[in-house]
Amino acid sequence: MRLDDLIGQTTAAALLRNAILRDRVAHAYLFHGPDGVGKSTAASAFAQSLNCEGGRPNDPGAACGECRSCTLIAKGNHPDVRLIAPSTGSDAAVIPIEQIRKDLVYDVELRPVVGRHKIYLLDPADRTAPLAIHTILKVLEEPPPYVVVILVTSRSALLPPTILSRCQHVAFQLAGADAIEQHLLTLGVDPPAAASLARLSGGRIAWAIRVAQRPEVLSTRKALLDLCATVQLRAAPEALRLAEDIKMQALTLVRARRDVDAETDVEEAPEEPAHVAFSAGDRALRAELPECLEGMVPWYRDCLAASQGGTLLNPDYESVLRGKAGSRGSSQDVRAIEAILHARQAIQRNANLDLTLESLAVELLTGGGQPISQP
């Protein structure tokens, strides 16, 4: 993908392209913005533009997408472009200091093998081990002339100011629903599904594309919205069953992914180090649950919108949502959203799955302390 093909990121694309055209490429960039808006894709596209061997005569600053360098970068095999990422599939894993030393600190001393630049993509940079982040500082303070380090993050507040101040910041935005819908149509997604996904994506193009490729995610979201719709009718003692219901939806995604992996013969994920050892089932659930929990947020967001006469993300639930409007305070909906996001974060940080889901269910059923229905 070329920089200009990024969906809804014209400002970021123009900034990066101008840097190449004016020969003012910085040694360190911070690609920051919400999850799923194309930061990683942009980092790869920028790496292609930096090391492209061909170029386009009518399109200066753009990568050709076809030369040896562009092809190797697209495949993740370019000898001078290194992706430094947590080594396991677990969302909770961090990039250890040994990996930062070997793949970055020592490696920058070696000149590029074939390209003009040596490019290091730290993605996500905020998952670098706490001590390792300071070893990166050494590289950012005195980088060899051929080095470009790109820190990719949706949580730049977690990076120390000493790192942030040494990077050129490139902001990525949520894309407009129209742009996402148009892009999904070019990928061959059905027009009704494209329109619905574009609205639900909340501007995150990567999410929309991923879900378009996994129809079971959409059906799981529908099941979760049905669950949310009945939460107010449930009694507080049903919390354990609600927690189990949420888990069941995540299991549906786990099974669907296994079926796809079996068909495409995907290799098993490598084992984690002992301190983050989970059973395979636990690890698979942990990978899918954040998606599930995220699918519940639009419900409570729509409850707020319905009570204020706003536009709904889930118009298919309009009559239920408008019917509920005013039946409970908007602060309960806000607390529900906070509780869901908190649970999602806890799971990504290796908290006990069952306990996290159960305490979330209690929060949702009691509206943050006040029982809203009795057995």
Nearer to Zn ion, 46 or 299 (CB): 46
How many of the other CB atoms lie within 10 Å of CB of 261? 13
Residue 289 engages Zn ion in binding (rule: CB under 5 A): no
**Interacting residue with Zn ion among 20, 28, 64, 163 (CB under 5 A):** 64
Residue 60 engages Zn ion in binding (rule: CB under 5 A): no
Nearer to Zn ion, 48 or 359 (CB): 48
Q: Which stretch binds Zn ion (CB under 5 A): 36-44, 52-60, 215-223, 265-273?
A: 52-60
Residue 3 engages Zn ion in binding (rule: CB under 5 A): no
Cβ of residue 112: shortest distance to Zn ion, in angstroms? 15
**Interacting residue with Zn ion among 54, 79, 160, 310 (CB under 5 A):** 54
Report the distance separating Cα 56 and Cα 63, nearest Å.
7
Nearer to Zn ion, 70 or 212 (CB): 70
Cβ of residue 118: shortest distance to Zn ion, in angstroms? 17
Q: Which stretch binds Zn ion (CB under 5 A): 68-76, 153-161, 183-191, 339-347?
A: 68-76
Distances (CA, A) of 245 to 87, 147, 214, 315: 31, 50, 21, 24
Cβ of residue 56: shortest distance to Zn ion, in angstroms? 9
For the stretch 229-247, what's the b/e string if a residue is b when 16 or more beta carbons lie within 10 angstroms of its beta carbon? bebbebebebbeebbebbb
Nearer to Zn ion, 72 or 337 (CB): 72
Q: Which stretch binds Zn ion (CB under 5 A): 63-71, 96-104, 161-169, 243-251?
A: 63-71
Q: Confirm if 313 and 199 have CB atoms less than 8 A apart.
A: yes
Cβ of residue 6: shortest distance to Zn ion, in angstroms? 17
Nearer to Zn ion, 116 or 214 (CB): 116
Q: Which stretch binds Zn ion (CB under 5 A): 57-65, 125-133, 237-245, 300-308?
A: 57-65
**Interacting residue with Zn ion among 20, 28, 50, 70 (CB under 5 A):** 70
Distances (CA, A) of 206 to 129, 134, 210: 26, 31, 6
Residue 52 engages Zn ion in binding (rule: CB under 5 A): yes
Cβ of residue 51: shortest distance to Zn ion, in angstroms? 8
**Interacting residue with Zn ion among 67, 129, 229, 351 (CB under 5 A):** 67
Nearer to Zn ion, 62 or 133 (CB): 62
Nearer to Zn ion, 54 or 281 (CB): 54
Nearer to Zn ion, 60 or 281 (CB): 60
| Contact positions vs Zn ion (CB under 5 A) | 52, 54, 63-64, 67, 70
